[in-house]
Amino acid sequence: MAELSYRTAGESHGPALVALIEGLPAGLTVDLELINAELRRRQGGYGRGGRMKIEHDGVAVLAGLRRGRTIGSPIALQITNRDCRIDQAPDIHCPRPGHADFAGSMKYLTTDCRDVLERASARETAARVAAGAVAKCLLREFGVICVGFVLEIGPARGNVPSEAAVDALIAARDASPVFTPDASAAESMMQVIQAAQQSGDTVGGVVEVRVFGLPPGLGSCAAWQERLDGRLMQAVGSIQGIKGVEIGLGFEAARRPGSQVHDPLYFDPAQRDCPNFGFVRGSNHAGGLEGGMTNGMPLVIRAAMKPIPTLRRGLDSVNLKTLQPQRSDYERGDICAVPAASVVAENVVAFEVARAWLAKFAGDTLREVRAAYDCYARAMRQLA
């Protein structure tokens, strides 16, 4: 069976975005409503721009399913762009600082930034969300739930307790216009976005993803390429606009002594039938990962998103054709895309977790994957 993987194709204003997923076992029911719901969430959030009023994202399955179930072949998904004008869109010769415009134009030896920005655009993340939502269909078969939310926007920070129950976390997040579970912080976050809009500026923030229901042992300590923390940081760090990723305490762990960083381990017989098989911690500073592997605690990963580089008031730049000073071009964009980034992060994390799941519990069919997990669970309970 091939390793679970996916690729995306498509440009911001091209005909469509495409995700090609390989390595899923046969017999998995793919919930199209779940995928479309995730795509709608990605389009939402306070601070989004005019493009999201044009697009009504939904997925079309081109290959890989029969009667709603996987058949073991690659899955091809398509998301049509309504704003399809790539050939008519004007050339852009003045790169936006902070975007891929300049570096990409130099890479491809062109003075027209349009060729670069069409693919570099965060519009591509719609395809990544679709792929991640398919992975969620696999994870929910085993009770694994991923929850992404907004923790900070600019200087406004929410407080989300580490012990928050998953259902309450999702309900509170979905009730918030900025996708934060902390209702008391939502208003201040929106005020930060409003201030940026009024001044022609943009604003970034911090998102967090938590994954519940993971058993210990996913990932690897034997091969650096398979360390799950590294895979997760690469996946989240590759999201457009992300400039920092941390797991658990993250950088705070470097400021504390070991006695205030590492999580004491206990055994609770009453939790023997839980995904942690009875092995519990007094804290979760490690964020559910030790030595590149899950340890049975919830996975916790955060990412810092910079402000969108498309500023209405522009920044100093250089016209690549004339080499003369010029203010950067304005290409329609968001004031704040942090809520959307929380959805993208949630889904790319889901895909990496599903990849690690199938690496450990491999099988050509869902039935075999389930049997492999059940065998592992029985062995763990005998060990405990």
What are 356-382's pLDDT values in tens digits? Answer: 999 999 999 999 999 999 999 999 998
Cα 207 to Cα 383: distance, rounded to the nearest angstrom: 37
Query: With 70 as the cut, is the pLDDT of residue 50 above it?
Result: no
Query: With 90 as the cut, is the pLDDT of residue 311 above it?
Result: no
Question: DSSP code of 306?
Answer: P
Q: CB within 8 A of 55, min separation 6: which ones?
A: 43, 81, 82, 83
Look at residue 83 in the predicted model and tell me its pLDDT: 87
Pairing of strands 75-80, 16-22: antiparallel
Pairing of strands 69-70, 65-66: antiparallel
Residue 53: exposed, middle, or buried by beta-carbon count in 10 A (0-12, 13-18, 19+)? Answer: exposed
Residue 129, CA distances (Å) to 29, 31, 40, 43 in order: 18, 14, 10, 11
Q: What is the CATH number of the domain that holds 207?
A: 3.60.150.10
Residues of the chain with pLDDT > 70: what percent? Answer: 97
What's the pLDDT tens digit per position in 136-191?
999 999 999 999 999 999 999 999 999 999 999 999 999 999 999 999 999 999 99
What's the pLDDT tens digit per position in 320-339?
999 999 998 676 678 999 99
Cα 216 to Cα 198: distance, rounded to the nearest angstrom: 48
Look at residue 53 in the predicted model and tell me its pLDDT: 61
* Tokens matching residue 96: 């936006």
Residue numbers of the domain that contains 176: 5-383
Query: For residue 20, what is the enclosing H or E element?
Result: strand 16-22
Q: For the chain, give the number of residues.
A: 384
Q: How many domains does the chain have?
A: 1
Query: With 80 as the cut, is the pLDDT of residue 13 above it?
Result: yes
Q: 52 falls in which pLDDT band (50, 70, 90)? A: low
Query: With 70 as the cut, is the pLDDT of residue 55 above it?
Result: no
Look at residue 190 in the predicted model and tell me its pLDDT: 97
Query: With 70 as the cut, is the pLDDT of residue 303 above it?
Result: yes
The mean pLDDT of the chain is 95
Amino acid found at 310: T
Residues of the chain with pLDDT > 90: what percent? Answer: 90
Average pLDDT rounded to a whole number, residues 91-99: 94
Question: DSSP code of 310?
Answer: -
E strands, 248-382, in order? 265-267, 279-281, 289-290, 293-294, 299-305, 316-318, 325-327
Contact 312, 335 (CB under 8 A): no
Q: Is 108 helix (H, G, I), strand (E, B) or coil?
A: coil
Q: 54 falls in which pLDDT band (50, 70, 90)? A: low
Dihedral, 356, 174, 40, 87 alpha carbons, nearest 10: -90
Cα 381 to Cα 274: distance, rounded to the nearest angstrom: 10
Query: With 80 as the cut, is the pLDDT of residue 51 above it?
Result: no
